[in-house]
Structure 1
Amino acid sequence: MTTPDASAAPPLGDAFHVFDTTLRDGAQREGISYSVADKLAVATLLDELGVGFIEGGWPGAMPKDTEFFARAAAGELKLRTAQLVAFGATRKAGTTAAADPQVLALLDSGAPVVTLVAKSDVRHVERALRTTQEENLAMVRDTVEFLVGHGRRVFLDCEHFFDGYAVDPDYGLRVGEAAIGAGADVMVLCDTNGGQLPGTLGETVAEVLQRTGFRLGIHCQDDTGCAVANTVSAVRAGASHVQCTANGYGERAGNADLFAVLGNLVTKLDLPVLPDGRLAELVRVSHAIAELANIAPNTHQAYVGASAFSHKAGLHASAIKVDPELYNHLDPEVVGNDMHILITEMAGRASVELKARELGVELARRPDVVSRVVDEVKTREAQGFSYEAADASFELLLRDELASADGRGVPVPFRLESYRVIVENPPRPGSGAVSSEATVKVMIGDRRVIVTAEGNGPVNALDSALRSALEDEFTELRHVSLTDYKVRILAGNAGTDSITRVLVTSSDRHRDWTTVGVHPNVVEASWQALVDSLIFALDFVQGPEPIEPQAPAR
């Protein structure tokens, strides 16, 4: 197992601990099941971010975790900043640490740091462990002494600390005293049930610090929605060790979100708890871990969500046009994010100008184009179009309006003559299958192309036929794939004759984009979105000439 490079240590050194437990506590989230390879990849990402400690799991109790530590020790995990941590419990009642197989497994893991969990609530000692208060203290003392004696650094997680402190404010401190007296470095106060609020939690942390003088840590669950606020409150009260999980993953409502906590500590409390330059990795690491967890990123997540710095109202955009800081609490680039202007019926002139600039088109000297675009967006959104979710369709609209204002046409790579879709059920007696067939007729320049294709449904058949018609001429489209398809009924009172909005997301080897279509016929709405998607793809892969701003005619 590699030893962290001292030159890469965070500016605060050991004065402040950023402790990540994504691979242990975070893995308890419903729906997450990391493979060992996933765990190694997540640990590497967390190390790249610059956290100080990575809790890898519970060796000896979980075979997958035992394998993870073995492969890490064999050199498959090369850490530059972080130290690997093994998690386990104190010895069982009535035995010794040296004779407890689970404690011995912590040594066998090879991890230089061990986190021990211990009961700090008298009710849990007596009802869950079914032992005496004194035996529980002995279990803590013996296990810490044993591990420290074998060269391990030990942190003690005081489970259910805050709930226990409210019942008996002395016993939890006795547990901490047993651990610190035996050589543990940190007494971690755990809000295991997640029921605390920032004010009272901060007061308790300050009181415990005043009574003990120990180095304190904080571990918060999010059952009240306050895990991040509770963590920050604990730090302000004197805690110097924070335990978090990537994206707030965890059991029930989750844990304190590592990325929100780091964003707050660095940008709001001015604590340099990460190595220089690593804060800008927040978005990349957050999304990469979400991919490994097979969970869609939370678009509205603080600091790292795709919508964290998005603005929809025209009033916001007008102010942002003057000074982005007026409606952003920090520069999005600080955490690796971007600002986005959403185009909807609420958009004003400033929104359109800023969105165009985001797309590489400067309209500051084109008030005529801005007015045309604003009016067209409002008209189309009233019909059911949604451009805040379809940037690609908005960019095509912007190009059309700019070209029209300049009295020129927009080159179109192909033109539809007609399409036809046939749905047959069943195609063969007794087969039970539903067959869809589509025929498209398109003009590519002066050449007429007719193609028929089958698909799983009418939209899939249309997509296949259109691509087949175009791919010989536009080979770039072979790298374009449809990755998402959403249908929404907009006018429910019309039943099956309702207006339908379709959003199509496509991707190639470079990026993703979304287009929109609206029509009472779901096939036509889908066709509009599909056509826009392929036109946008061709513009992108062929590298269209940049749209230069022009002064309005006088």
Structure 2
Amino acid sequence: MATNVKIFDTTLRDGTQGEGISLSVEDKMKIARKLDSLGVHYIEGGWPGSNNKDIEFFTRVSELQLKNAKVTAFGSTRRKDTLPENDMNLNRILEVGVPVATIFGKSWDFHVFQAIQTTLEENLAMIYDSVRYLKSKGLEVIYDAEHFFDGFKNNRDYALQTIKKAEEAGADWIVLCDTNGGSLPHEITEIVTVVKQTVAAPIGIHAHNDCELGVANSLAAVAAGATQVQGTINGYGERCGNGNLCSIIPNLQLKMNYSCISAEQLQSLASVARYVSEIANMHMPMNQPYVGSAAFAHKGGIHVSAILRNSSTYEHITPELVGNKQRVLVSELAGQSNLVFKAQELGLDFDNDNQQTKQLIEQIKEMEHQGYQFEGADASLELLIRNAYGKLEEAFKVESFKILMFKNENQPVVTEAIVKLNVQGETVYNAAEGNGPVNALDNALRKCLQQHYPALQNIHLSDYKVRVLDEKDTTAAKVRVLIESTDFNNSWSTVGVSDNVIEASWDALIDSIRYALLGKPKVELHVEEQRERLGLVNH
């Protein structure tokens, strides 16, 4: 039977310390609901002693009626030379009414002398008194031993004394923190092994990613006996981030035979990762393991030919286990197998020697020579393929658009777009302002379409990139615009190329809306069905 490992998510606390991340109370509520559905065991909501926003979150989190996760509040041990019952931070944890408290204390003698400027004996008393006080109030207490690995390397005996004091006081968990993120996996293994021989309380690991070893160190700790892992979704966190739960959980569960969450919950991992990145307004790296859009993407024709026969040739797991999917990219490097796969995925029936297929490959290669990039714009590619095979029904036709920009002295620039469409035989004409030409065009386009297609109100642009293709032509250079759109459940990318940045943006924007209006569910075949239709069934 697989050993259980408890997952402790600190996205709402440690994750928000990452540069560029700021979550409102509503944001934190939405993410907490998602984390609970994922099946994490603990959600660290914040530090109620530090700000009013976290206090409001703890006040409201009971509204969510979480089914799987316990909510925990974060804080420090009591201040030096202070009784725990008089310590504001400890009492704030009690006031917010959580069932679990997570408090940190110093394990490194260097920090005791330099950071809190007290004696080694007083630091031990601070740890013992704080844990004992919270336990006396009926809370589950998780003790985070800050800088434990650095402390152990510098003064082994004292670092071990600190966690033994927490255990003596009744701590339910002892979590070893690699706070500076500077330890190596073999060091983690050796030190956790010693700790397991020193204390009887269950052990956890809290790894930072400063050496890009947050995931590896977390796995090493579990292999050495830790049964709780702390981390964040997408690895968000201070400096280089925390251990990435989106890699830690599937590695533990699919590779190391530990039990963290149910198989059904694991299948939601990719969608949770995307959801959190959207709420945090952070771009999610496409090459992120397990959950990134490129994690199971194939570009080279030889690779694609192989995965059509057996996906295990170039995939280490079945993508659907983590809620991801296999993707085949079409580009100037693509062979016929790539396009056959994409067309079959869309339910378009043709044989490998179809002349239309060959013509489409040449068209795509020529367009990429001009600057298009379809490997990063699946939605534009799908529209192109559907159109080539007569399977694209136009939801609307563009008749014209116009952009006006004006500026008064000491006033910001005002941009207005006027769009004229033919929608279902009706001429629709609308104008809208925006904070730039693309935003104004987007707003005007939606005003024209939302009466006929109200679902568009749930779709928004999540990313916009412009790349100059011919720098030597300076301001007359051709540009490529990539737009990413989302409805929170799905995301898609479109591309436009022109020597006019507005036209390139408009083309990408139009593709985005047309793709959104294709209708759900689109015709898609499972991998096995694709192989069967191509005569590549495994025996």
Q: 2:101 matched to 1:122?
A: no
| Candidates 462, 467, 481, aligned match of 1:488 | 467
- Residues in 2 aligned to 1:57 and 1:144: alpha-carbon distance in whole angstroms: 18
| Candidates 8, 12, 17, aligned match of 1:23 | 12
- 2:328 is matched with which residue? 341
2:20 aligns to what SS in structure 1? Answer: coil
Gaps of 5+ in 2: 535-539
Q: 2:41 matched to 1:52?
A: yes
| 1:175-214 equivalences in 2 (<5 Å) | 175-214=162-201
Q: 2:270 matched to 1:283?
A: yes
- 1:84 is matched with which residue? 71
- 1:8 is matched with which residue? none
- 1:307 is matched with which residue? 294
- 2:251 is matched with which residue? 264
Structure 1 residue identity aligned to 2:36: D
Asked if the contact 1:471–1:478 (Cα under 8 Å) also holds between the matched residues in 2, the reply is: no
Asked if the contact 2:39–2:69 (Cα under 8 Å) also holds between the matched residues in 1, the reply is: yes
Describe the shift of the 1:78–1:435 C-alpha distance in structure 2 as closer, same or farther (beyond 3 A). Answer: closer
Describe the shift of the 1:23–1:416 C-alpha distance in structure 2 as closer, same or farther (beyond 3 A). Answer: closer
Q: 2:498 matched to 1:519?
A: yes
1:255 Cα shift?
0.5
| 1:16-415 equivalences in 2 (<5 Å) | 16-72=5-61, 75-365=62-352, 367-403=354-390
Describe the shift of the 1:364–1:260 C-alpha distance in structure 2 as closer, same or farther (beyond 3 A). Answer: farther
1:277 aligns to what SS in structure 2? Answer: helix
Q: 2:480 matched to 1:501?
A: yes
Structure 2 residue identity aligned to 1:32: I
Gaps of 5+ in 1: 1-10, 404-408
Deviation readout 1:406-433 (Å, 9 max, x if unpaired) = xxx987677778x68686877x999996
Deviation readout 1:327-368 (Å, 9 max, x if unpaired) = 111111111111111111111111112222233324445543
Describe the shift of the 1:271–1:360 C-alpha distance in structure 2 as closer, same or farther (beyond 3 A). Answer: same
1:235 Cα shift?
0.8
Describe the shift of the 1:478–1:249 C-alpha distance in structure 2 as closer, same or farther (beyond 3 A). Answer: closer
2:317 aligns to what SS in structure 1? Answer: coil
- Residues in 2 aligned to 1:448 and 1:213: alpha-carbon distance in whole angstroms: 75
Structure 1 residue identity aligned to 2:123: N
- 1:4 is matched with which residue? none
- Residues in 1 aligned to 2:285 and 2:117: alpha-carbon distance in whole angstroms: 42
1:452 Cα shift?
9.3
1:493 Cα shift?
1.6
1:141 Cα shift?
1.7
Structure 1 residue identity aligned to 2:103: L
Structure 2 residue identity aligned to 1:201: I
- Residues in 1 aligned to 2:440 and 2:98: alpha-carbon distance in whole angstroms: 55
Describe the shift of the 1:444–1:138 C-alpha distance in structure 2 as closer, same or farther (beyond 3 A). Answer: closer
Asked if the contact 1:29–1:254 (Cα under 8 Å) also holds between the matched residues in 2, the reply is: yes
> CA-atom RMSD, angstroms?
3.8
- Residues in 2 aligned to 1:443 and 1:182: alpha-carbon distance in whole angstroms: 73
Q: Larger deviation: 506-515 or 306-315? A: 506-515
Give the structure-2-normalised TM-score.
Answer: 0.84
Structure 2 residue identity aligned to 1:51: V
Describe the shift of the 1:259–1:507 C-alpha distance in structure 2 as closer, same or farther (beyond 3 A). Answer: closer
Deviation readout 1:505-534 (Å, 9 max, x if unpaired) = 567899665443333344554554455556
Asked if the contact 1:482–1:504 (Cα under 8 Å) also holds between the matched residues in 2, the reply is: no
Equivalenced residue count is: 525
Deviation readout 1:130-172 (Å, 9 max, x if unpaired) = 2111121122122222222332222211111111111111111
Asked if the contact 1:12–1:272 (Cα under 8 Å) also holds between the matched residues in 2, the reply is: yes
1:234 Cα shift?
0.9
1:186 Cα shift?
2.2
Structure 1 residue identity aligned to 2:8: F
Structure 2 residue identity aligned to 1:49: L
- Residues in 2 aligned to 1:71 and 1:546: alpha-carbon distance in whole angstroms: 41
1:320 Cα shift?
1.1
2:480 aligns to what SS in structure 1? Answer: strand
- Residues in 1 aligned to 2:235 and 2:524: alpha-carbon distance in whole angstroms: 42
User: Bigger radius of gyration, 1 or 2?
Assistant: 1
2:295 aligns to what SS in structure 1? Answer: coil
- Residues in 2 aligned to 1:393 and 1:128: alpha-carbon distance in whole angstroms: 55
Structure 2 residue identity aligned to 1:389: G
Give the structure-1-normalised TM-score.
Answer: 0.82
- Residues in 2 aligned to 1:154 and 1:437: alpha-carbon distance in whole angstroms: 58
- 1:3 is matched with which residue? none
Structure 1 residue identity aligned to 2:40: V
- Residues in 1 aligned to 2:50 and 2:520: alpha-carbon distance in whole angstroms: 55
Asked if the contact 2:5–2:259 (Cα under 8 Å) also holds between the matched residues in 1, the reply is: no
Structure 1 residue identity aligned to 2:88: P
